[in-house]
Amino acid sequence: MAERMIVVGGDAAGMSAASQARRRRDRTDLEIVAFERGHFTSYSACRIPYWISGLVPERDQLVARAPEAFRDDFDIDVRMRHEVTAIDLDRREVVARDLDGDREVRVGFDTLVYATGARPVQPEWARDDVAGVFGVQTLDDGAALLDWLEREPRPRHAVVVGGGYVGVEMAEALVQRGLSVQLVEQAAQPMSTVDPDMGELVAEAMRGTGIGIRTGMKVTGLDERDGRIAAVVTTEGPIPADVVVLGLGVRPNTALAEAAGLPLGPSGAIRVDRRMRVPGVPGVWAAGDCVESLHRVSGMPVHVPLGTHANKQGRVVGINIGGGYATFPGVIGTAVTKVCDLEVGRTGLREQDAVKAGFEFVTVLAESTNRAGYYPGAEKMTVKLIAERPSGRLLGAQIVGRSEAAKRIDALAVALWNGMTVDEMTALDLGYAPPYAPVWDPVLIAARKAVDALAGTGR
């Protein structure tokens, strides 16, 4: 009899694991059943703001592979609109609810892959049933928001609550649709994934497009009129709103795991080993936004929910279940985003992360241009480096610029991944031509400035 592999969650990590396992083992040896509570598999949630703005016109462009493709091309039994409600490790079975058929199903497993992703943070005040309040975690969420935006009377005033990646991208998307937008953030500036000085550059760019930035302000409730959203109530008073979008971040979706007795780490996500096995629970694996990873710089367990990691981790799981050998080496927190006319990139530790990890360090800000200053289209770029004292090892980097910032953060990520010092970085053989970089690339200028700071000769 074939071994049965059950996958809980049909997005990046789960379906990557399923397809990789299938490539190595056919149906006579391994039966694969995947449960997904939504309507889509393998889709890109990070593209939803571009769909809302109209930059990506069709929803199907956000789907990498439909359920039918997994069934036909990979012989995977994909069960859509099936929500797993319990995992029984003693009986080695999962319990799922067929949401369309309104019936319960139980399926036994030999191998289980837990890939439930993350769930959006939803405060108590957002749990009231008020029409016009939306999250943007799934394609179904995006479709519901688009329907509201196109329904008469069409909304004119939007409030985005939360200034992380999703919040700032959704604020821009709604401005592009012609709405008046206010972004409310409890912290001192949006984009808390970078340090405050770099976040202020992002805030300036957003204000330049007409987005109102309300920082240091906490949302406490919602006002409604005839069951529809009318205003967001804050510690500084109400803000009128016809539509509200929540961008308060996510938490690992571990309720099922915790109920089943799977171990959670200090980040609140599931603990896994380097091969993505759940320790102490034979035959159970986990991957994606529900697991914690090792941060290669701080050495600490972290929860970094990104599709890049989810796909890699799922691949590792599938290779191992398929009979191969693979490990996931950890993360350094590299991320990029477009905010209005800015590119924002970060990798490694922020200042507060370095303090928490116990490092002594120096920080430098270097301003340069993305190409030779005399070449048409040269734009200002700000690079921030954090380097360990006294070793000079790069601990983190952030870049904000109007062009080619995303390209350069990757060079810094490679340096960070390989443990380079800022002194070693000053000699990096980076490409030069006036249309693409000045003679001294912004990365090299920042590295030189960090070397001076470590020597006590910098400002």
CATH superfamily of 335-453: FAD/NAD(P)-binding domain (3.50.50.60)
What Cα–Cα distance (Å) separates residue 167 from each residue in 48, 192, 339? 12, 11, 10
Mean pLDDT of the region 445-455: 97
CA distance linking residue 332 with residue 286, whole number of Å:
20
276 and 8 in contact (C-beta within 8 Å)? no
What is the residue whose two structure tokens read 């199903």?
Answer: 105
- pLDDT more than 70, % of the chain: 99
How high is the mean pLDDT of the chain? 95
Give the strand pairing for 293-294 and 301-302: antiparallel
Domain 122-248 and domain 335-453, same fold? Reply is yes
Interval 383-414: pLDDT, tens: 999 999 999 999 999 999 998 888 899 999 99
44 Cβ contact list (under 8 Å, min separation 6): 62, 63, 64, 307
**Range in 81-95, 135-149, 445-459 with the lowest mean pLDDT:** 445-459
Q: Is the dihedral of CA 100, 106, 111, 116 positive or negative?
A: positive
Q: Looking at residue 128, what is its pLDDT?
A: 73
Give yes or no for a contact between 287 and 257, defined as CB atoms under 8 angstroms apart: no
In contact, 331 and 299? CB cutoff 8 Å: no
If pLDDT is split at 50, 70 and 90, which confidence band does 45 have?
Answer: confident
Residue with tokens 């985003």: 337
| Residues annotated as catalytic (active site), given as ranges | 46
Q: What is the b/e burial string over 390-412, where b = at least 16 CB atoms within 10 angstroms of the residue's CB? A: ebbbbbbbbbbbbbbbbbbbebb
pLDDT 10s digits, 125-139: 887 778 999 999 899
**What residue segments make up the domains of the chain, in order of their start?**
3-38+45-119+251-321, 122-248, 335-453
Tell the residue number behind the tokens 């769930």, with chain if given: 119
Q: Would you identify the CATH topology of the domain 3-38+45-119+251-321?
A: FAD/NAD(P)-binding domain (3.50.50)
Q: List alpha helices for 151-195, DSSP H.
A: 165-176
The CATH code for residues 122-248 is 3.50.50.60
Q: What is the pTM of this model?
A: 0.93
pLDDT tens digits, one per residue of 292-324: 999 999 999 999 999 999 999 999 999 999 999
pLDDT digits (tens, 9 = 90+) for 211-269: 999 999 999 999 999 889 999 999 999 999 999 999 999 999 999 999 999 999 999 99
pLDDT at 11: 95
What token pair was written down for 297? 């710089």
Q: Is 433 helix (H, G, I), strand (E, B) or coil?
A: coil
Position 459 scores a pLDDT of 45
